[in-house]
């Protein structure tokens, strides 16, 4: 057997995982885009997509979120941003750590690119301030571990103005939030 440059190109992978939804999503993605490289994609989500989406949410950057999110994810994130804007409140924008990015699964879609499901953790400061900078909820030293889940696919319109990467976040949720200090 020749040297394998990638675990996912190993014939044993197909035998072990050939019928899983993740394996089907990877195969479909490779069928649609022969240059698709799963480890490279995972690295992009870890170092580019996940930090960007969380940062845009914390900063209240609706314009960038609209370009990079599907309708459902955008509506969920933007509802919180609009509520904060109405009350003139601001989240602490600092992401202290982003870690443990895990590909949890995948799913093929009837139309369009397959979705890949990721979970990851951040450490963020749980502090909400008013327009004068006064803390109105949380504390300046209340560090939280926040667990996110997001569904990501290739962006259907990679020529769209304002895109920083060729992926779209279709769904996003906070699935955990615990004090860590």
- Say which CATH number the domain at 68 has: 3.10.450.240
What is the mean pLDDT of the segment spanning 164-179? 94
pLDDT confidence bin for 162, thresholds 50/70/90: confident
Number of domains in the chain: 1
User: Does 110 fall in a domain?
Assistant: yes
User: Does 6 fall in a domain?
Assistant: no
User: Does 109 fall in a domain?
Assistant: yes
User: Does 4 fall in a domain?
Assistant: no
Question: What confidence score (pLDDT) does residue 1 get?
Answer: 42
Q: What are the two backbone dihedrals, phi and then psi, of residue 79, each rounded to the nearest 5 degrees?
A: -60, -45
State how far the alpha carbon of 26 is from the alpha carbons of 13, 29, 76, in Å.
12, 5, 27
User: Does 55 fall in a domain?
Assistant: yes
Residue written as tokens 């926040």? Answer: 146
Concatenated DSSP letters for the chain?
Answer: -PPPS-GGG-HHHHHHHTTSHHHHHHHHHHHH-TT--HHHHHHHIIIIIHHHHHHHHHHT-HHHHHHHB-HHHHHHHHHHHHHHHHHTEEE---EEEEEEEEEEEEE--SSSSPEEEEEEEEEEEEEEEETTS-EEEEEEEEEEEEEEEEEEEE-S-TT-TT-SSSEEEEEEEEEEEEE--
pLDDT by residue (tens digit) across 89-145? Answer: 999 999 999 999 999 999 999 988 999 999 999 999 998 999 898 999 988 989 999
What is the chain's Cα-based Rg?
A: 18
- Give the structural domain span for 129: 11-157+164-179
User: Does 2 fall in a domain?
Assistant: no
Question: What confidence score (pLDDT) does residue 174 get?
Answer: 94
pLDDT by residue (tens digit) across 41-92? Answer: 999 999 999 999 999 999 999 999 999 999 999 999 999 999 999 999 999 9
pLDDT confidence bin for 37, thresholds 50/70/90: very high
User: Does 20 fall in a domain?
Assistant: yes
Burial of 25 (0-12, 13-18, 19+ CB in 10 A): buried
User: Does 5 fall in a domain?
Assistant: no
């Amino acid at each position: 057997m020749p040297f394998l440059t990638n675990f996912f190109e190993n014939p044993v992978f197909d035998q072990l995982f050939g019928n899983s939804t993740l394996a089907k999503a990877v195969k479909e993605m490779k069928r649609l885009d022969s240059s698709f490289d799963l480890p490279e994609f995972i690295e992009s989500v870890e170092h580019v997509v996940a930090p960007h989406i969380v940062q845009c949410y914390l900063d209240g950057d609706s314009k960038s979120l609209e370009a990079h999110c599907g309708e459902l994810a955008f509506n969920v994130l933007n509802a919180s941003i609009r509520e904060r804007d109405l009350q003139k409140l601001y989240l602490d924008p600092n992401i202290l750590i982003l870690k443990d990015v895990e590909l949890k699964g995948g799913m093929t879609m009837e139309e369009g690119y397959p979705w890949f499901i990721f979970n990851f953790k951040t450490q963020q400061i749980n502090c909400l301030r008013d327009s004068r900078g006064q803390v109105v909820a949380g504390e300046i030293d209340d560090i939280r571990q926040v667990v996110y889940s997001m569904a990501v696919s290739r962006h259907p319109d990679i020529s769209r103005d304002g895109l920083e990467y060729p992926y779209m976040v279709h769904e996003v949720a906070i699935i955990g939030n615990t004090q860590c200090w």
